[in-house]
Amino acid sequence: MEPTPERMMWMYENMLLIREYEETMAKVYLEGKLPPNIQKGLAFDIGSGPVPGEMHLAAGQEPVAVGVCAHLRKEDTVVGTHRPHHFAIAKGVPLDRMTAEIFGKSDGLSRGKGGHMHLFDPEHKFSCSGIVGASMPPACGAALAAKKLGKDWVAVAFFGEGAANQGTFHESLNLAGLWKLPVIFVCEDNKWAISVDKDHSTAVRSDADRAGAYGLPGISVGRNDALDVYSAAGEAVERARRGGGATLIEVKTDRYMGHFQGDAEVYRPKGEVGELRKNDPIPGLAGTLRARGLLDAAKDQALRARVHAQVTRAFEFARQSAYPQPREALEHVFA
Amino acid sequence: MTTARKLTMAQAIAEAIGQEMERDPKVFVMGEDIARYGGIFGATGGLLDRFGPERIMDTPISESAFIGTATGAAAEGMRPIVELMFADFFGVCMDQIYNHLAKNTYMSDANVRLPVVLMTAIGGGYGDAAQHSQCLYGLFAHVPGLKVVVPSNAYDAKGLMIQAIRDDNPVMYFFHKGIMGLPWMAYYEGSTTEVPQEAYTIPFGQARVAREGADVTIVALSQMVQKALVAAAELEKEGIRAEVVDLRTLVPLDTDAVLRSVTKTGRLLIADEDYLNFGVTGEIAAQVAERLDRMVLKSPVRRLGVPGVPIPYSRPLEQAVIPQVQDIADACRAMIGANLAKAA
């Protein structure tokens, strides 16, 4: 399946936006976390600075998010992971309110109650969870609801290859196969489940092979390439929309940063990230766009300036926003 | 001869496990990122190099499978230690924990022994939000069949871990991230203590008086002990002498130690980081309430805990719901000033 030029440019711009966002977040995250302004003897303090807690960034994994979300409409549901920014951006979650949430501010999506791993934007039908393997069941639920409501909406569950060893993966695939749910299971295989690589965690080479166990088609995308993901996802989304049921897609993708920021990555072979970055999907797609006459240096520059401005605005918005009042902590346990 | 040096709690736990592994070839460790990474919170640091991947086993992210595997291996005479990375993750494997690990001994009339140590990280205060900041030990103490260990410092952590490994029953061992002495997270330095080189045990069900005082008893556990000690030092400047009782284990619970202290001081504050409702603080208060025929209270019992809300992400919200040093000190001051209602 070949995207239109507009779709291709949308994917490219969103990949630039995601990369800019994640690289900016990596820098901002370090603010206030390094000596000398932290407890003596510490090398890093995860709890201080404007963005506390764990931070999982998705630089390198942009093709998965944009290649799938390029097929989605506003009324389609996306459920992401603990590493959620790229999915949220590609699904159209507003950057300013998402960033304010990650800063724990009152203009955030959840006025600071959720945070980086728990972004909820019902308007754009996006959510995520910090629990590994948690995305598939609620995606099945959104798909079931679409069926019951007689809509042609689809739901997408993103998850990592580590999550494919959770019970929820197997239970959800079976349920989706049994009930012919309009859901697309998208496995981001970045090889690393924190420090444990796939060879040491998974008995099969390709997670796509597991689809057959539940009567579902399984597609393996072997390259970290937006157009390849787009093609596989197009087939899956189309099948789901016309009532043909679920699909499992595995994408071999690359994690350029640590599992979390501050991860010393002692488990990772030296030079691995450098090698992976040689196949950076962003210049890859730029090359294709240039070859097709869709992109030149000036246009590229303009796009990069635009995403830079967008990201700068979002972080500025988050910084300016006020912290919520302590008493708000007690609100909204129930609707 | 005893040689002691200062260890962080993470180092003390890893040392305890290593010494027991040397002593007993049946001891082995399973969990996510516990081998090459040494445990996300350092509880298995250095063990892979010493014991190899046959005994220090990284697992897939399959908690039901590997915790159930520990139960099955224990029934065959092995002595597994398993790590659940965060206590919050119990949701994906609770059936294996509370319907099997916790109950098989009883259902078999103790014909099945399950010497499993299930260790897990707890606690908030560093902005990790609702799914990575809970304590939850109260929930596991509520379920019959699990011993529950909650160390507050490195010395106790080592002795309690060795005791846990040698125990023939399932033991849940909760270490608070904010006292592990990690180089990447602020922690209470009182938790880093002198630790003897040699192996030693601390019996379960023996609370420790971490600080003596005559005016008010603060019952605490885990990181909250360290907060209580800071609060007590602050109160001393005002002439308020707080006694801090570190429970060390919830199951078994050293009720006598609590009663002894409260009998002496006449005032009880229970400071906890777990949820306030239906939990540890209520249990301790009830134990005291049931024995009011034997003691005289000078003020109503007070409890501090996380009010009935999940842990919010935003710093001011999180700081508001997790009891802080200041909250402990304020509660003690209020109790000193409070009077009991006169009996009609």
Burial class (CB in 10 A: 0-12, 13-18, 19+), A305: exposed
* Band of pLDDT at residue B236, cut at 50, 70 and 90: very high
For chains A and B, what is the number of CB pairs under 8 angstroms? 154
User: Is residue B162 included in any domain, yes or no?
Assistant: yes
Chain B residues with beta carbon closer than 8 angstroms to that of A200: 58
Q: Does the active-site annotation cover B83?
A: no
Position A44 pLDDT exceeds 90 = yes
Residue B132 annotated to the active site: yes
Query: In whole angstroms, what is the distance from residue A226 CA to residue A280 CA?
Result: 11
The CATH number of the domain holding residue B145 is 3.40.50.970
Q: Which residues pair with A61 in a beta bridge?
A: none
- Cα distance between residue B20 and residue B164, in whole Å: 10
Rounded mean pLDDT, B21-45? 98
**For position B232, which CATH number holds?**
3.40.50.920
Contact between B184 and A46 using a beta-carbon 8 Å cutoff: yes
* Dihedral sign from CA coordinates of A163, A164, A167, A172: positive
CA distance A104 to chain B (A): 4
**DSSP H or E run through B289:** helix B280-289
**Do B69 and B175 belong together in one domain?**
yes
Beta bridge partners of B249: B149
Given B196, B222, B254, which residue is the final one in a domain? B196
Q: Residue B342: pLDDT above 90?
A: no
The reply to whether B328 and B183 lie within a common domain is no
Considering the domain architecture, whether residues B227 and B295 belong to the same structural domain is answered as yes
3-state secondary structure chain A: CCCCHHHHHHHHHHHHHHHHHHHHHHHHHHCCCCCCCCCCCCCCCCCCCCCCCCCCCCCCCHHHHHHHHCCCCCCCEEEECCCCHHHHHHHCCCHHHHHHHHCCCCCCCCCCCCCCCCCEEHHHCEEECCCCCCCHHHHHHHHHHHHHHCCCCCEEEEEEHHHHHCHHHHHHHHHHHHHCCCEEEEEEECCEECCEEHHHCCCCCCHHHHHHHHCCCEEEECCCCHHHHHHHHHHHHHHHHCCCCCEEEEEECCCCCCCCCCCCCCCCCCCHHHHHHCCCHHHHHHHHHHHCCCCCHHHHHHHHHHHHHHHHHHHHHHHHCCCCCHHHHHCCCCC
B126 at interface of A, judged by CB pairs closer than 8 A:
yes
Hey, is the C-beta of B312 within 8 angstroms of any chain A C-beta? yes
CA distance A109 to chain B (A): 12
Element spanning B242, H or E: strand B242-246
Average pLDDT, chain A: 97
Q: Note whether residue B322 is domain-resident.
A: yes
Asked if B143 reaches chain A (Cβ–Cβ under 8 Å), the answer is: no
Tens-digit pLDDT profile for residues B78-122: 999 999 999 999 999 999 999 999 999 999 999 999 999 999 999
ipTM: 0.95
Q: Is the pLDDT of residue B275 over 80?
A: yes
Residue B337 has what pLDDT? 86
**Are B17 and B136 found together in one domain?**
yes
Superfamily of domain A5-323: Thiamin diphosphate (ThDP)-binding fold, Pyr/PP domains (3.40.50.970)
Number of separate domains in chain B: 2
CA distance A233 to B151: 50
Q: B61 and A325: CB-CB below 8 Å?
A: no
Of the residues B88, B90, B311, B317, the best mutation for testing chain A's interface (the one with the most A CB atoms within 10 Å of its CB) is B317
Phi first, then psi, for residue B219 (nearest 5°) are -90, 130
List of chain B residues whose C-beta atoms are within 8 Å of the C-beta of residue A162: 60-61
Please tell me if residue B6 touches chain A, with a CB cutoff of 8 Å: no
Of A113, A196, A200, the CB nearest to B313: A113
Mean predicted confidence (pLDDT) in B63-68:
98
Q: pTM here? A: 0.97
- Give the rounded distance of the alpha carbon of A265 from its chain centre: 21
Question: In chain B, which residue's Cα lies nearest the Cα of A107?
Answer: B314
- Find tokens 């499993």 and name the residue: B116
Same structural domain, B168 and B218:
no
**How would you classify the pairing of strands A126-128 and A120-121?**
antiparallel
**Pairing outcome for strands B27-31 and A196-197:** unpaired
The angle at the Cα of A33, spanning B7 to A83, to the nearest 5 degrees, equals 100
For residues B190-212, give the mean pLDDT. Answer: 98
What's the pLDDT tens digit per position in A190-223? 999 999 999 999 999 999 999 999 999 999 999 9
Q: Do B314 and A201 touch (CB under 8 A)?
A: no
- With CB atoms and an 8 Å threshold, state whether A195 touches B128: no
B38 and B133 inside one domain = yes
Which of B196, B228, B248 delimits the end of a domain?
Answer: B196
Residue B60 confidence (pLDDT): 98
Q: Please give the DSSP secondary-structure letter assigned to residue B96.
A: I
pLDDT single digits (tens) A146-165: 999 999 999 999 999 999 99
Q: Please tell me what DSSP assigns to residue B181.
A: -
Range of the domain at B226: 208-337
Q: Is B96 left (phi over 0), alpha (psi -120 to 50) or beta?
A: alpha
From A215, A223, A221, select the one nearest A284 (Cα to Cα): A223
The tokens describing A85, both together, are 């920014």
The owner of tokens 């809970």 is: B134
Question: Mean pLDDT across the stretch B205-211?
Answer: 98
Whether residue B344 lies inside any domain: the answer is no
| Distance of alpha carbon A14 from alpha carbon A70, whole angstroms | 10
The stretch A98-125 carries a mean pLDDT of 98
- Which residue of chain A is at minimal alpha-carbon distance from B131? A130
Tell me the C-alpha distance between A107 and B116, whole Å.
Answer: 47
Minimal C-alpha gap between B228 and chain A (Å): 20
**Per-residue pLDDT at B4:** 82
Residue whose tokens read 């291709």: A8
Indicate yes or no: CB of B62 within 8 angstroms of CB of A166: yes
pLDDT in the model for residue B344? 47
Q: How confident is the model at residue B158 (pLDDT cuts 50, 70, 90)?
A: very high
Edge to edge, what strands does the sheet with B208-211 contain?
B208-211, B242-246, B216-220, B268-275, B302-306
Question: Closest to B60 (Cβ–Cβ): which among A113, A117, A201?
Answer: A201
For a pLDDT cut of 70, what percent of chain B falls above it? 98
Among B131, B245, B141, B225, smallest CA distance to B178 is for B225
**Band of residue B3 on the pLDDT scale cut at 50, 70, 90:** confident
Partner residue opposite B130 with nearest CB, options A52, A118, A166? A118
